[in-house]
Amino acid sequence: MRYICPKCFKVADVGEKFCSNCGYDFEHISNEKYTEKLIKALRHPDYNVAYMAAKIIGELKIKRAEKSLIEQLCKNLLNKKDPYLEQVMVFALGEIGGKEAYKFLLENKDKFSVITKTTAEISLEKIKGRIYIS
Ligand SMILES: [Zn+2]
């Protein structure tokens, strides 16, 4: 699993104690702060940072990111910005989303790009499984 440096947003590997770009000491950051940084990074102007943030949010299952992911996906839909970013954010919603994410994906699944459509179906199934369990 990879991480993002909270200071310069360079992608780092777990096990690295310092950022190879800016020298930031990763021990200094708490999980709480890191989570906040990741959620903020979804809005980062650098496509690679936003992409990696969404991917890590999905992998680490950071539930608090649900609203921000939906927000960014709405913007992406309006601007027709990027199909890959859209796809990874829909993947992340599938990993963490609840009722709100389910409703959003269901309402918008026909508006997504071709590459996102299958991911949206999978994410809807995943969320559905969780909603009915709880
Ligand atoms: Zn750094």
What is the DSSP annotation of 71-124? Answer: HHHHHHHHHT--HHHHHHHHHHHHHH--HHHHHHHHHHTTTS-HHHHHHHHHHH
Amino acid 2: pLDDT: 63
Q: Name all domains of the chain by residue range, CATH numbers in brackets.
A: 2-133 (1.25.10.10)
User: Would you state the structure tokens that stand for residue 69, as one six-digit string?
Assistant: 């992911």
What separation in Å is there between the alpha carbon of 26 and the centre of ligand 1?
9
Amino acid 64: pLDDT: 95
pLDDT(133) > 60: no
What separation in Å is there between the alpha carbon of 50 and the centre of ligand 1?
15
What does the angle CA 12 – CA 20 – CA 41 come to, to the nearest 5 degrees? 45
What separation in Å is there between the alpha carbon of 30 and the centre of ligand 1?
15
Cα distance between residue 27 and residue 60, in whole Å: 18
Q: What is the pTM of this model?
A: 0.85
What separation in Å is there between the alpha carbon of 68 and the centre of ligand 1?
23
pLDDT(89) > 60: yes
Interval 42-57: pLDDT, tens: 999 888 889 999 999 9
State the average pLDDT over residues 79-88: 89
What separation in Å is there between the alpha carbon of 19 and the centre of ligand 1?
5
Interval 113-122: pLDDT, tens: 999 999 999 9
pLDDT(40) > 90: yes
State the average pLDDT over residues 94-102: 96
State the average pLDDT over residues 79-89: 89
Rounded CA Rg of the chain: 15
